């Protein structure tokens, strides 16, 4: 009730203050970004934001989709550096992350567990950096620093026609700033922060844009280095504030305007991250304390090279994007909840991946009532994977157990396997719209996708897990033999999928857009290695009717949505409202067979998500900016067979892992303090409602899961006061002002008691930037 009352008060305040300020002058200025000059202070109308979510540049208010766009000015002003910083501000979005490289988005409640995905399992939300999909890079999703970014676009609802497989629930697009051909520009910034009970934060960023040939050739360079100090102690390794992370990298882009009609942009990007430990902790050990015989460390290197071509053909623009990307990641995790008291147990994984992505599209630009986009997409991904279990060498030495190598993990290897993974996706897509009148437009879209996923297990690995357990129970004093691994191949085969979209748009006035949209999304098939053992049948109980399939089938859903996007009061108030109904059929989830507890990927019948999202921005007077986002949603399992309930742990009516209510609001006041200098203060408040961390029962057992929990509701409050001029700006900020230590995540997996997460403790910091 507190949250609903707060939201109602905020909404009423915004509307009433907007009405009071309706006599202010109109013009262009961002309500999200603060005033940057005296001239802007005299202007209070909301600016238009241009997005490219439909593969063409359009005014955000004209697009018949639910999109939240955060411009580069907003990102810099609020100190938004990664996915977690902006996710709570977007209606219908939740993010779970044990550390910054294991990000998992939930949009519109379409998620069944907050735990991280397994190798190869496709996520429900696609994340793009420019044209490169960075999801599906194994369990890791590179969380690139958001510096010198043109904007971030969050597309809610399936994007199956323009973005294809993996955008079942939506897509997050990070669009980097491109070289400016006409002017020299430079920027450098520093961010220093001090966390309550933790190590300090240090962030350094710089950008340089230089026209090499006026209006013809320009170079843009970006570099950054940042350290995020830890605040969680690992009592197992004896390291205080063990969850430090370090990140460095940059971008180099060259743009050439060969002719008035042809431009070419080349860009190279590199990011190198080292995470010393996870920020998940075990309350039984004390506040912000975890335990593990090794740290849960991660290293991620992301490198990409892109060539973009734009050619004006007159009636259409030809756009080509060619990307080659390499990703190397390595992570270790101590699974002290498994075999507790018997054998220290951990898991290590390393993936080296090469990706080729090509997209070519034609975008119409005539004045005809017909407008269209047509294109093709191709992705080829090759991964060399090494994963395996390990234990503590000191423990083996205490029992005089020998024979296990120590070259593939931070401990003694119990087992490892080498895999080669090949993934391809090819698609043809198109959208066609027709304006019946100046105010009514019908749009239809199709995408046909062919995808294939192949996993080959090589015979280079070994499996001595069972032999080591036997040696432990036998009292030790034995050399463990290295057991062979049987090679095999898993292949989903080539599968064709047709996704569809249709929308109807009516613009009763230049300031209002009313739309109805139906759009489809899907995920590809997922292979099951367990199906190769005994033909997928249970060895423990030959009469068990559940036969593990070679492939967990693709799932799909439809999003039925109506919305209103509108400016009011001379563009001093903007309201975007969307209502949606999403039936999710044949959910692809992790299952467990009851007779032998073998896990696999399969499908269960149906879930439904429905809700309302509201975004309000107002600039009632030139000095004041206000915003409020509200989400009301219900996402539940609607149909389930008894066999599906047993293998999944779900029950009919069980909620999916998303809050039923969330809200985010801000208030910013700006005023002039002298020639070319402005002062501003800003307050951001976010409320995330309670939601479950998974299904309520143990998969395969049907009994209540002791790790099932309701993540409690929590608030996040941040405040900033700053000053800015033509060349300099500086601010003081406080993140998590209330020092709220409510749990914001509880891992449903039973592999470790260290499974609780909170907001970063109160952090007080200073930002300064110079720009030219």
The gap between the terminal CA atoms of the chain, to the nearest Å, is: 48
Q: Let me know whether 586 and 615 are in one domain.
A: yes
Q: Is residue 604 part of a domain?
A: yes
State the pTM of this model: 0.90
* b/e 271-285 (16+ beta carbons within 10 angstroms → b): bbbbbbbbbbbbeeb
**What token pair was written down for 569?**
């009061």
Q: Let me know whether 255 and 373 are in one domain.
A: no
Q: Let me know whether 348 and 410 are in one domain.
A: no
Question: Which residue(s) pair with 600 in the sheet?
Answer: 591
Q: Is residue 95 part of a domain?
A: yes
Q: Let me know whether 93 and 113 are in one domain.
A: yes
For the chain, 772 residues long, the average pLDDT of each consecutive 10-residue run is: 42 40 33 40 74 90 92 86 86 81 86 72 85 71 86 92 87 93 95 96 96 96 95 95 94 96 96 93 94 92 94 95 92 88 90 93 92 95 91 94 90 92 94 95 96 90 92 92 90 92 96 96 88 88 89 92 95 96 93 88 94 95 93 96 92 94 95 88 95 92 92 95 93 96 90 91 96 93
**What token pair was written down for 392?**
């503590």
Question: Which residue(s) pair with 496 in the sheet?
Answer: 450
Q: Is residue 496 part of a domain?
A: no
- Per DSSP, the residues of 73-90 read HHHHHTT--SHHHHHTTS
Q: Which of 254, 256, 174 shows the shortest CA–CA distance to 222?
A: 254
Q: Is 367 exposed, middle or buried (0-12, 13-18, 19+ CB in 10 A)?
A: exposed
Q: Let me know whether 594 and 618 are in one domain.
A: yes
Q: Let me know whether 297 and 176 are in one domain.
A: yes
Report the alpha-carbon angle 275-281-287, nearest 5. 120
Q: Let me know whether 481 and 532 are in one domain.
A: no
Q: Cα–Cα distances in Å, from 767 out to 89, 178, 205, 529, 716?
A: 21, 24, 11, 50, 20
Residue whose token pair is 């044949």: 586
At a CB cut-off of 8 Å and minimum separation 6, what does 402 contact? 396, 478, 479, 480
Q: Is residue 474 part of a domain?
A: yes
519 touches 67 (CB < 8 A): no
Q: Let me know whether 440 and 467 are in one domain.
A: no
Give the whole-angstrom CA distance, residue 421 versus residue 427. Answer: 20
289 touches 233 (CB < 8 A): yes
Identify each DSSP E strand in 240-297 by its residue range.
245-257, 262-275, 289-290
Q: Let me know whether 346 and 472 are in one domain.
A: no
Per 3-state DSSP, what percentage of the chain is helix, strand, and coil (rounded to 5)? Answer: 10, 55, 40
Q: Is residue 465 part of a domain?
A: yes
- Coil, strand or helix at 58: strand
**Which of 455, 472, 491 lies at the terminal end of a domain, its last residue?**
491
Q: What is the CATH number of the domain that holds 512?
A: 2.40.170.20
Residue whose token pair is 């990102």: 75
Residue whose token pair is 């032999």: 467
Q: Which domain holds residue 395?
A: 357-432+445-491
What's the pLDDT score for residue 117?
Answer: 57
Q: Let me know whether 439 and 455 are in one domain.
A: no
Question: Which residue(s) pair with 424 in the sheet?
Answer: 380, 452
163 touches 135 (CB < 8 A): no
**What token pair was written down for 552?**
């967990």
Rg value, the chain, Cα: 27
Give the whole-angstrom CA distance, residue 744 versus residue 742. Answer: 6
153 touches 67 (CB < 8 A): yes
Q: Let me know whether 415 and 547 are in one domain.
A: no
At a CB cut-off of 8 Å and minimum separation 6, what does 268 contact? 251, 252, 253, 303, 304, 305, 306
246 touches 230 (CB < 8 A): no
Q: Let me know whether 271 and 367 are in one domain.
A: no
Give the whole-angstrom CA distance, residue 529 versus residue 600. Answer: 8
Give the whole-angstrom CA distance, residue 218 versus residue 220. Answer: 7
Q: Could you tell me if residue 410 is left (phi over 0), alpha (psi between -120 and 50 degrees) or otherwise beta?
A: alpha
For the chain, the domain total comes to 2
What's the pLDDT score for residue 81?
Answer: 85
* Alpha-carbon 54 to chain mean position: 20
Instruction: Output the 3-class SS for 129-177.
Output: ECCEECCCCCCCECCCCCCCEEEEEEEECCCCCCCCCCCCCEEEEEEEC
What's the pLDDT score for residue 674?
Answer: 80
Q: Is residue 497 part of a domain?
A: no
* Alpha-carbon 2 to chain mean position: 29
**What token pair was written down for 393?**
């060498």
- Coil, strand or helix at 648: helix
């Amino acid at each position: 009730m507190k949250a609903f009352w707060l939201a109602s008060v905020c909404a009423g305040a915004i509307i009433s203050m907007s009405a009071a300020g309706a006599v202010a002058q109109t013009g262009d200025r961002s309500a999200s970004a603060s005033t940057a000059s005296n001239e802007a202070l005299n202007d209070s109308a909301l600016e238009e934001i241009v997005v490219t979510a439909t593969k063409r540049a359009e005014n955000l208010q004209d697009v018949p989709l639910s999109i939240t766009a955060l411009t580069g000015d907003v990102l810099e002003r609020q100190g938004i550096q990664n996915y977690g910083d902006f996710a709570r501000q977007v209606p219908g979005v939740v993010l779970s992350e044990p550390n910054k490289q294991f990000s998992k988005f939930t949009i519109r409640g379409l998620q069944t567990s907050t735990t991280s995905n397994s190798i190869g399992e496709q996520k429900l939300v696609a994340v793009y950096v420019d044209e490169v999909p960075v999801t599906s890079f194994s369990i890791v999703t590179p969380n690139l620093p958001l510096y010198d970014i043109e904007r971030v676009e969050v597309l809610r609802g399936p994007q199956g026609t323009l973005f294809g497989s993996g955008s079942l629930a939506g897509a997050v697009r990070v669009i980097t700033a491109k070289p400016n051909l006409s002017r020299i520009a430079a920027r450098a910034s520093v961010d220093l922060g001090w966390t309550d009970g933790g190590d300090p934060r240090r962030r350094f960023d710089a950008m340089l844009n230089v026209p090499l040939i006026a209006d013809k050739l320009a170079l843009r360079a970006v570099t950054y280095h940042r350290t995020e100090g830890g605040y969680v102690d690992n009592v197992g390794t004896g390291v205080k504030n063990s969850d430090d992370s370090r990140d460095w990298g940059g971008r180099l882009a060259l743009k050439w305007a060969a002719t008035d009609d042809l431009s070419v942009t080349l860009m190279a990007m590199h990011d190198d991250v080292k995470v010393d430990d996870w920020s998940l902790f075990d309350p039984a050990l004390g506040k912000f304390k975890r335990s593990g015989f090794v740290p849960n460390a991660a290293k991620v290197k992301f490198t990409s090279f892109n060539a973009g071509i734009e050619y004006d053909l007159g009636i259409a623009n030809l756009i080509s994007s060619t990307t080659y990307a390499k990703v190397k990641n390595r992570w270790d995790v101590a699974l002290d909840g498994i075999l507790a008291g018997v054998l220290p147990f951990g898991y290590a994984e390393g993936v080296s991946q090469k990706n080729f992505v090509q997209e070519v599209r034609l975008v119409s630009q005539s004045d005809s009532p017909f407008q269209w986009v047509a294109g093709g997409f191709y992705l080829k991904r090759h991964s060399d994977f090494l994963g395996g279990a390990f234990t503590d060498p000191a423990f083996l030495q205490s029992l005089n157990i020998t024979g296990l190598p120590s070259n593939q993990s931070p401990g003694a290897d119990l087992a490892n396997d080498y895999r080669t993974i090949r993934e391809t996706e090819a698609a043809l897509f198109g959208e066609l719209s027709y304006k019946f009148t100046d105010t009514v437009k019908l749009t239809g879209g199709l995408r046909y996708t062919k995808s294939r996923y192949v996993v080959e297990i090589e015979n280079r690995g070994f499996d001595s897990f069972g032999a080591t357990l036997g040696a432990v129970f036998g009292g030790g004093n034995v050399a463990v033999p290295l057991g062979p691994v049987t090679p095999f191949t898993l292949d989903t085969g080539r599968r064709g999928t047709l996704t569809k979209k249709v929308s109807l748009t009516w613009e009763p006035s230049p300031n209002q857009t009313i739309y109805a949209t139906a759009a489809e999304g899907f995920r590809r098939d997922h292979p099951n290695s367990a199906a190769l053992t005994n033909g997928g049948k249970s060895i423990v109980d030959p009469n068990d009717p559940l036969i593990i399939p070679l492939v967990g089938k693709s799932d799909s859903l439809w999003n039925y949505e109506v919305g209103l996007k509108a400016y009011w009061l001379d563009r001093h108030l903007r309201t975007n409202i969307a209502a949606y109904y999403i039936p999710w059929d044949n959910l692809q989830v992790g299952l467990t067979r009851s007779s032998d507890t073998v896990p696999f990927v399969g499908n269960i019948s149906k879930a439904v998500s429905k809700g309302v999202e509201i975004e309000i921005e107002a600039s009632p007077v030139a000095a004041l900016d206000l915003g409020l986002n509200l989400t009301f949603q219900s996402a539940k399992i609607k149909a389930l067979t008894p066999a599906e309930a047993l293998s999944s742990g779900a029950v009919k009516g069980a909620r999916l892992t998303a809050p039923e209510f969330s809200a985010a609001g801000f208030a910013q006041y700006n005023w002039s303090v002298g020639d070319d200098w402005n002062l501003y203060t800003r307050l951001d408040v976010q409320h995330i409602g309670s939601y479950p961390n998974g299904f309520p029962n143990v998969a395969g057992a049907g009994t209540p899961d002791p790790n099932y929990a309701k993540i409690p509701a929590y608030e996040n409050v941040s405040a900033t006061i700053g000053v800015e001029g033509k060349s300099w700006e500086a601010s003081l900020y406080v993140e998590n002002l209330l020092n709220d230590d409510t749990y914001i995540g509880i891992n449903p997996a039973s592999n470790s008691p260290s499974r609780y997460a909170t907001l970063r403790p109160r952090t007080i910091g200073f930002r300064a930037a110079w720009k030219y």
